[in-house]
Amino acid sequence: MRIADVKEDIDHELVSKAQIDSKIREIAAQVSEDYRGKNPLLVAVLKGAVNTLVEFSQAVSIPVQIDFMSLSSYGSGTVSSGQVTVRQDLSADVRGRHILIVEDIIDSGRTLAWLVDELKRRGAASVEVFALLSKPSRREVEVDVKYAGYEIPDEFVVGFGLDYDERYRNLDSIAVLKPSVYQGE
Ligand code: IMP
Ligand code: MG
């Protein structure tokens, strides 16, 4: 789906499909170099990171394995405990593995900080992060993102996996929603 298909809901495009593709290719080339011979495990956080994982895993030039985790975080802004619950766990044993977490976007950083700690606690040999997008102005917890895509302003975005109320995940670029979409709900 393209912006033209939902243009009544979209304020403006923030990251085009071409920009997404070129950034993923650039990071994939770097990761291929850094992880050659290491058989890394790509861990994607459901559901938002799926689009990035699929494109990224095809763009790397080394063998990788993939796995998924579904997390729910409580206290976004209000309770702000950074408490995270695992809704669906990995199927892989991460002990001794080189893990690259694939994320759609880092906001407060709480989910990611928790996940990095958890995978280290489980005995991973290394844990690094690739996030396609980041909102630095929203950061509450320091997270070391080795492979960072685009920094964006503090605006709510959808597309390329990112949703608003489970909608717009299948948009092929990243866009800012019109406020009327939220006000209508
Ligand atoms: P954090 O723990 O606050 O960093 O939460 C990050 C998660 O919040 C992301 O993985 C997304 O699922 C969600 N999120 C944060 N900002 C946006 C946005 O602008 N659009 C859609 N989802 C977002
Ligand atoms: Mg996410």
Average pLDDT across the chain, whole number = 94
CA 93 to chain centre: 21
Residue 133 beta carbon below 6 angstroms from any ligand 1 atom? no
154 pLDDT exceeds 50? yes
> Which one-letter amino acid corresponds to residue 112?
L
Residue 82 beta carbon below 6 angstroms from any ligand 1 atom? no
C-alpha to C-alpha distance for 100 and 31, rounded to whole angstroms: 9
Break the chain down into helix, strand, coil percent, rounded to 5: 30, 30, 40
C-alpha to C-alpha distance for 48 and 158, rounded to whole angstroms: 10
Residue owning tokens 């975005």: 157
Q: Taking each helix axis from N to C terminus, what angle separates 17-34 and 50-59, rounded to the nearest 10 degrees? A: 60
From the CA of 109, the nearest ligand is: 1
Index of the ligand 1 atom closest to the CA of residue 138 = 3
Instruction: Read off the tokens for 77.
Output: 């802004």
CA of 26 to the centre of ligand 2 (A): 21
185 pLDDT exceeds 80? no
Q: What is the dihedral of CA 169, 172, 175, 178, to 10 degrees?
A: -60
Summarised one tens digit per residue, pLDDT across range 125-141 is: 999 999 999 999 999 99
From the CA of 76, the nearest ligand is: 1
Q: Which residues belong to the active site?
A: 107
Q: What is the pLDDT of residue 183?
A: 80
Residue 134 beta carbon below 6 angstroms from any ligand 1 atom? no
pTM over 0.75: yes
